[in-house]
Structure 1
């Protein structure tokens, strides 16, 4: 008997309160409403943004996320059913949900200058769908869905403008990572920094996003790529993605920005900050060459201010930020999947661990102890 139009009972990892382990619960996932799609999640990555919410770090508008919540936003799955008014998706489609929508109609979507989308933006940050509610409940309580996705659940419901269809032969336990981390770092180099052939780059932070930024610098033709980080174990991995030089700030008795300026005879052409630390952001900017150096902020740190002297920019440096690597999500993610399938983009190399949903807390432990790059949670068949 089919499930369309019915409530689905399934498992989900629920965060009932901040700074506490997630618990595996039976939840109820309601059918999709107008312009919504219900998805069977196949695989989902565990991202630092999930950890940030669990630690009660403020969102992009300075608010604290509400609990209880189903985290997860980096996933792949199969369409189970669609709500009224949905025309671009049908049952059985292979999809990747998107934390950055692309409605194709708002002024941001119509502009080539940005990948942001105004559709349901406020609701997305609050963890609800367009009507201000969610489709997942447990023990009679509504569960918020991180970025209106909530992929740490065997089933979830998302907006039809926050979803993209991909090719059927893509391995879902790999391409799920293109829903956030890899795309963000790779796009930061390609789209935001616009790294040039023969240029010199520095990437600060060697987690999943940072390593993807290294990969982007290499793809853009950079001749020298400095991987900057404290974990020496990550240096060999960074070399795999294209890094040519390695700088550990702990190995020097002077600021790392000064070290980079001296090593490059004036500073790097492009610096990408992938940590989420204001001191590192400032170091990245200071490592840039005056006259034309570009610093791109990729890391997320909403609760602190970054201090910049006007002279740092007056002499020609550029400081900018990027969200989801500048990709127009609905149209770009399928192309990134194609690039991966055509061996133009590395994805498998980011996956260090695979775990079932029941071990979701172990995935967070691996992240906080810096033993993993990306852990993929594989849902039950």
Structure 2
């Protein structure tokens, strides 16, 4: 792949810039600054649209964070490195990370207790971790970042702790999904819930994350995986990822939690909320059994961020857990998932429903709004 390089200088390239909430992306020529100390500049090869990109794009909560370049689920090639960077060299293949890992803070050295790095956790201000400034400009005007990545640009700059080196044998147009959605679902099943063999599982929302939870539960040996979704087209796709029973709430006459409790003799061992609907968290809790039922919430809420539940649901022994990136320590753990994919131990390809050229990025947003895709992979070369 031909890669522009201007080591130490500004690169001009194309980026899909959002100028306002819900406004179509405009393809702009942007100036991408060189990497500062502890940063790397990446030639983005493939990036996929995640629902959290869509949620943030539609949100009116932070209108000041425009213009902005979205995208965080991506793969690419290191174009240049800043001072103090020793783990990357030009030409390395990488995945971007929306939460980083500094390897030094209390959270990072906490073994498996946490993956929320104190230095490189979720970045919500639209600027770089290191100096609170942007690396993108359009005609001299600064452009905000998204999730410390901004992969809807031919080149981007990230902190070196927000990227992980991967095998060059891994197809970049596939494994980009592991930088967020697929890894998040697998980790929720394995790391957060620790799904056990022979258990029953209920999953609310069968998008990329929900299907990855199902895949993880199946690999762990769950005896029954119940998928809940209002889109009937997902029924057949879900079977390929381990879903044994499909419930469409629009096609039943009683609350879905009652149906699940009857199917599982009092409630599922584990339930997963993968929609981004805080009201559904209560439904997921009610679908779990007394005593040991575990509910994991993964979705990013579009509205009403507060979770409410009757105390009795917890008093009777249920547990509610949150999950960010499936509990994975991204730099430490993602290479093992890459290896599993290369050994065909986990599935990614079936989650990719569309492959689009960069110039067609707005089509990806349209497809997701209409509920007609799982993952749209956007190929930055435009050669499709």
Same fold? TM cut 0.5: yes
Q: Does 2:72 align with 1:33?
A: no
Q: Does 2:88 align with 1:89?
A: yes
Q: How much has 1:142 moved relative to structure 2? A: 0.8
**Could you tell me how far apart the structure 2 residues matched to 1:39 and 1:309 are?**
47
Q: How much has 1:5 moved relative to structure 2? A: 1.0
Q: Does 2:48 align with 1:45?
A: yes
**Could you tell me how far apart the structure 1 residues matched to 2:374 and 2:290 are?**
33
**Could you tell me how far apart the structure 2 residues matched to 1:26 and 1:185 are?**
35
Q: Does 2:352 align with 1:379?
A: no
The residue that corresponds to 1:19 in the other structure is 22
The residue that corresponds to 2:289 in the other structure is 289
Where in structure 2 are the equivalents of 1:322-337 lying within 5 Å? 322-337=323-338
The residue that corresponds to 1:77 in the other structure is 76
Task: Indicate if the aligned counterparts of 2:351 and 2:374 stay in contact, CA closer than 8 A.
Answer: yes
Task: Indicate if the aligned counterparts of 1:101 and 1:329 stay in contact, CA closer than 8 A.
Answer: yes
**Could you tell me how far apart the structure 2 residues matched to 1:264 and 1:57 are?**
41
Q: How much has 1:57 moved relative to structure 2? A: 5.8
Task: Indicate if the aligned counterparts of 2:292 and 2:318 stay in contact, CA closer than 8 A.
Answer: yes
**Could you tell me how far apart the structure 2 residues matched to 1:228 and 1:263 are?**
13
Where in structure 2 are the equivalents of 1:249-328 lying within 5 Å? 249-301=249-301, 303-328=304-329
Q: How much has 1:303 moved relative to structure 2? A: 3.4
* 2:147 match: secondary structure: helix
* 1:125 match: secondary structure: coil
Task: Indicate if the aligned counterparts of 1:44 and 1:152 stay in contact, CA closer than 8 A.
Answer: yes
Where in structure 2 are the equivalents of 1:141-180 lying within 5 Å? 141-180=141-180
The residue that corresponds to 1:102 in the other structure is 101
Q: How much has 1:148 moved relative to structure 2? A: 1.5
Task: Indicate if the aligned counterparts of 2:21 and 2:63 stay in contact, CA closer than 8 A.
Answer: no
**Could you tell me how far apart the structure 2 residues matched to 1:131 and 1:154 are?**
23
**Could you tell me how far apart the structure 1 residues matched to 2:305 and 2:56 are?**
16
Q: Mean Cα displacement is larger for which, 69-78 or 305-314?
A: 305-314
**Could you tell me how far apart the structure 2 residues matched to 1:97 and 1:293 are?**
34
Task: Spell out, residue by residue over 1:248-272, the C-alpha distance to the aligned partner (whole angstroms, 9 max, x if none).
Answer: 1112111100110011110000000
Q: How much has 1:332 moved relative to structure 2? A: 1.1
TM-score (norm 1): 0.96
* 1:77 match: secondary structure: strand
Distance 1:262 1:57, change over 3 A: farther
**Could you tell me how far apart the structure 2 residues matched to 1:149 and 1:137 are?**
15
Task: Indicate if the aligned counterparts of 1:53 and 1:65 stay in contact, CA closer than 8 A.
Answer: no
Task: Spell out, residue by residue over 1:56-94, the C-alpha distance to the aligned partner (whole angstroms, 9 max, x if none).
Answer: 265xxxx66611110000000000000000010000000
Q: Which runs of 5+ in 1 are unaligned?
A: none
Q: How much has 1:162 moved relative to structure 2? A: 0.7
Task: Indicate if the aligned counterparts of 1:68 and 1:144 stay in contact, CA closer than 8 A.
Answer: yes
Task: Spell out, residue by residue over 1:262-299, the C-alpha distance to the aligned partner (whole angstroms, 9 max, x if none).
Answer: 11110000000100112221111100000111000011
Task: Indicate if the aligned counterparts of 1:28 and 1:137 stay in contact, CA closer than 8 A.
Answer: yes
Distance 1:211 1:2, change over 3 A: closer
Q: Mean Cα displacement is larger for which, 306-315 or 83-92?
A: 306-315
Task: Indicate if the aligned counterparts of 1:268 and 1:288 stay in contact, CA closer than 8 A.
Answer: yes
Aligned residues: 376
The residue that corresponds to 1:117 in the other structure is 117
**Could you tell me how far apart the structure 1 residues matched to 2:59 and 2:341 are?**
34
Task: Indicate if the aligned counterparts of 1:65 and 1:126 stay in contact, CA closer than 8 A.
Answer: no
Where in structure 2 are the equivalents of 1:230-245 lying within 5 Å? 230-245=230-245
The residue that corresponds to 2:7 in the other structure is 4
**Could you tell me how far apart the structure 2 residues matched to 1:192 and 1:303 are?**
24
The residue that corresponds to 1:197 in the other structure is 197
* 2:20 match: secondary structure: coil
Q: How much has 1:2 moved relative to structure 2? A: 4.6
Aligned residues: CA RMSD: 1.3
The residue that corresponds to 1:340 in the other structure is 341
Task: Indicate if the aligned counterparts of 2:40 and 2:81 stay in contact, CA closer than 8 A.
Answer: yes
Q: Which runs of 5+ in 2 are unaligned?
A: none
* 1:80 match: secondary structure: strand
